[in-house]
Amino acid sequence: MRDLSAWVRIRTAVVGGESGSAPDTASARESIRDLAILYAMAVDAHDLTALDSMFHPDAVLSRDGEDAIGRTAILEMLGESMDGFRRMLHTPETHVVHVDGRDGLGIATAHAELVTRRSVVLAAHEYEDSYTVHDGRWVFAARAIRFVYAARSDEYGTVLPEADRIRLPGAAPRTMASGWFGEPTPT
């Protein structure tokens, strides 16, 4: 079994930026991109220990308007979400990162295949993130997740063209939230 927490410690470490100066920008962007990839792997593995190390103690995780504030609440939200799926496979895709000293902003996209007890759900989502340096590593200060679509695999072709294309198990069909969540600002 791989130790994702070890990968998080190694791959999110700040390069440069000793004594409070600004970290190396190119290395920071790479570490932040690794943070997002490791997040997907940890969610898929239902590894709450690794996820705990990826968030600032006061971080905020928003999922389509539902907010979890602080690590404990974030892990609770993620754990409850994971409990609904027997298997998860998140595939990170695009990821644009801007670094400003010891803070950063990012937008990313991803797809997911989610196995419930009765079906397979295909989904696409977007992330709006802010990052910060905490204890010598890049972590999420805030992460907002917005679904683009979510549909059972056997309904994918008929659901995707519809306005209410977000159809998560146990929830009423709904439309995608318009625009980004707001103007992101570093913490």
Q: Return the pLDDT at 127.
A: 95
For the whole prediction, is pTM greater than 0.85? yes
CA atoms within 13 A on the CB side of 20: 0
Helix (H, G, I), strand (E, B) or coil at 52: helix
pLDDT beneath 50: ranges in the chain: 1, 181-182, 184, 186-187
**What local confidence, expressed as pLDDT, does residue 21 receive?**
67
**Closest to 33 in 3D by CA, of 109, 101, 84, 102:** 109
User: Concatenated DSSP letters for 6-40?
Assistant: HHHHHHTB--B-GGGPPBPHHHHHHHHHHHHHHHH
Q: Confirm if 33 and 95 have CB atoms less than 8 A apart.
A: yes
Is 150 within 8 Å of 123 (Cβ atoms)? Answer: yes
Q: How many CB atoms lie within 10 A of CB 97?
A: 21
Q: What 3-state DSSP class applies to 1?
A: coil
What whole-number distance in Å separates Cα of residue 150 and Cα of residue 156? 8
Residue 89 pLDDT: 95
Cα–Cα distances (Å) from 111 to 93, 106, 122, in that order, read 8, 17, 8
